Structure 1
Amino acid sequence: MKLLTKAQFDKLLDNGRLQAPLKGTEGELDFAPVVKLFNAYGAGTWLLTELDPDEPDMAWALADLGVGCAEFGTVSLSELAALKHPLGFSLIERDRNWEASAPISAYIRASQEAGHIIDHLPAELRPAQTL
């Protein structure tokens, strides 16, 4: 299975293009995650919000590697895709049924409190609208 559908890749790239001129400013956009990737055979969850338009292999994501502290930063899609089980199949999969219910800031706050990604936020943590 491909990590991203074409529609997800395009949305992540569009988000990255919108974010690029605002990166590092107080005007940064708070996108809802576009896709959830996970390690089907162990620890590891990533909620991707955007791609770097100059380097579209690099995604901005909330990453939880199962060590008790999720972190927002960049991750290489090709490195995730290269992670293989000893029998040769991909370790990282896309959650086909997951859909974001809040902007990434809500997932970051919830993960800081819980020590891991909370991928189904309770209603009180969801804002009225997301980008």
Structure 2
Amino acid sequence: MNLFTDEQADKLRENGSPENRDKDHCPVVKLFLPGTRCTWLLTELDPEDENRAFGLCDLGLGFPELGYVDLHELITLQFAYQVTNDLNFIGEYPISVYARAARREQAITVNRQHLQQALKPS
């Protein structure tokens, strides 16, 4: 089962390429588990292992963090929880802004006001 559209996968690969890897990319895809607070905003795929993605990960425990996620694990969850790709999501800010807002809110947020506040230095 595929978690991304072809366009999303291409952009994730592009962002993960060696020349782009250390940039502060906007999230390309938002995955979530309906009925839970689990959310992932992903920016790139590891070019050496495309089953590993980087982004902002929130398991719904109040401690969202930047890091890697094993896509095989998410696909495994498909059988129990149906990981969903929010096809309406458009990442408008760099991932660092989403991370600052998530730390303040203790959860990933796409609320424009929260994200605007996160643009300001703390």
Report the TM-score when normalising by structure 2: 0.86
Match of 2:96 in 1: 105
Match of 1:24 in 2: none
Q: Is the Cα–Cα contact under 8 Å of residues 102 and 126 in structure 1 kept in the other structure?
A: no
5 Å matches for 1:1-131? 2-17=2-17, 18-20=19-21, 28-83=22-77, 84-85=79-80, 91-122=82-113, 124-125=116-117
Pairwise CA RMSD of aligned residues? Answer: 1.8
Residues 82-107 of structure 1 deviation map (CA, whole Å, 9 limit, x = unaligned)? 1022xxxx520000111111000000
d(CA) in 1 for partners of 2:75, 2:24: 26
Q: Is the Cα–Cα contact under 8 Å of residues 107 and 121 in structure 1 kept in the other structure?
A: no
Q: Is the Cα–Cα contact under 8 Å of residues 30 and 42 in structure 2 kept in the other structure?
A: yes
Secondary structure of the residue that 2:8 maps to in structure 1? Answer: helix
Secondary structure of the residue that 2:99 maps to in structure 1? Answer: helix
Between the aligned residues of both structures, percent identity stands at 41
Letter of the structure 2 residue corresponding to residue 50 of structure 1: E
d(CA) in 2 for partners of 1:116, 1:106: 13
d(CA) in 2 for partners of 1:118, 1:5: 22
Q: Is the Cα–Cα contact under 8 Å of residues 15 and 44 in structure 2 kept in the other structure?
A: yes
Offset at 1:16?
A: 0.3
Q: Is the Cα–Cα contact under 8 Å of residues 41 and 91 in structure 1 kept in the other structure?
A: no
d(CA) in 2 for partners of 1:56, 1:119: 26
Q: Is the Cα–Cα contact under 8 Å of residues 44 and 55 in structure 2 kept in the other structure?
A: yes
| 61-70 or 113-122, larger mean C-alpha shift | 113-122
Letter of the structure 1 residue corresponding to residue 3 of structure 2: L
Secondary structure of the residue that 2:87 maps to in structure 1? Answer: coil
